[in-house]
Amino acid sequence: MEYSFYKATPLYKELLILNLIEKNKNITQRQMSDVLASSVAMTNNYLNEIEKRGLLEREYISTKEVIYHITDEGRKRRKYLSIVYLNESQKMYDGAKEELLKFVEQIKEKGFKKILLYGAGEVAEIFLNAIKGEVEVLAVIDDDESKQGKELVNILIISKNEIINYEYDGILISSYSHQKLINQKIKEMDIPNEKIMTFFGVPYDL
């Protein structure tokens, strides 16, 4: 999955540039600017700054063609920035997982041992990976017919009409952008509010 979540700080852009050049020394400034979400002129400024610090060298094949070479110091810097980035990412992951586990505890306190998820997207995938072994997820509901019959993290994706085939304690709305619509669909099936859960808010107040 591709995300544009992280704010592109100067350090992050420096790491991106060094990574891009390490993978492809023939990369163009236009290609770099697309990844950095910056103008070509701004990308050139970043390159000039990195070059001044001795992290890369440019080999001019022609006025339009340039080959970039990362120096030994540049490789050391790239490894250092990668470690810092991973450390910061791990902190964010640990914080997010802690929030999820707290929510799982709330589910367990309600006496819910067997649940269904509604929404077979990224949120459901994250939940399934985070709550393994904590509660039993019987199936994942989704209204997209192209997803039905397939699996998400080894859990079958079903239609809402198949809910009656399962004995469950509650339904967890596993979608952020469609939670209000999903909540309405669940209510139309006469499923009581106390069986509806959502990580992003109180379902019957949506």
Calculate the average pLDDT of the chain.
90
The 10s digit of each residue's pLDDT in 82-118 is 999 999 889 988 888 888 888 888 888 888 999 999 9
Do residue 149 and residue 64 come from a single domain? Answer: no
Do residue 39 and residue 87 come from a single domain? Answer: yes
CATH of the domain at 122: 3.40.50.720
Tell me whether residue 104 is in a domain: no
Query: Residue 127: what pLDDT?
Result: 87
CATH of the domain at 47: 1.10.10.10
- Residue 206 pLDDT > 50: no
Coil, strand or helix at 126 = helix
- Residue 49 pLDDT > 80: yes
pTM as predicted: 0.65
- Residue 15 pLDDT > 50: yes
Q: Which of 28, 15, 13, 11 is nearest to 68 (CA)?
A: 28
Do residue 42 and residue 75 come from a single domain? Answer: yes
Query: Residue 5: what pLDDT?
Result: 56
Taking the C-alpha atoms of residue 156 and residue 182, their distance in angstroms, rounded to an integer, is 18
| Angle between helix 40-52 and helix 10-23 axes, rounded to 10 deg | 90
24-58 as b/e: b if 16+ CB within 10 A: eeebebeebbeebebeeeebeebbeebeeeebbee
Residue where a domain stops, chosen among 92, 123, 145: 92
Tell me whether residue 98 is in a domain: no
Identify the domain containing residue 140 by its residue range: 110-205
Taking the C-alpha atoms of residue 66 and residue 146, their distance in angstroms, rounded to an integer, is 46
Taking the C-alpha atoms of residue 13 and residue 101, their distance in angstroms, rounded to an integer, is 33
- Residue 205 pLDDT > 50: no
Number of domains in the chain: 2
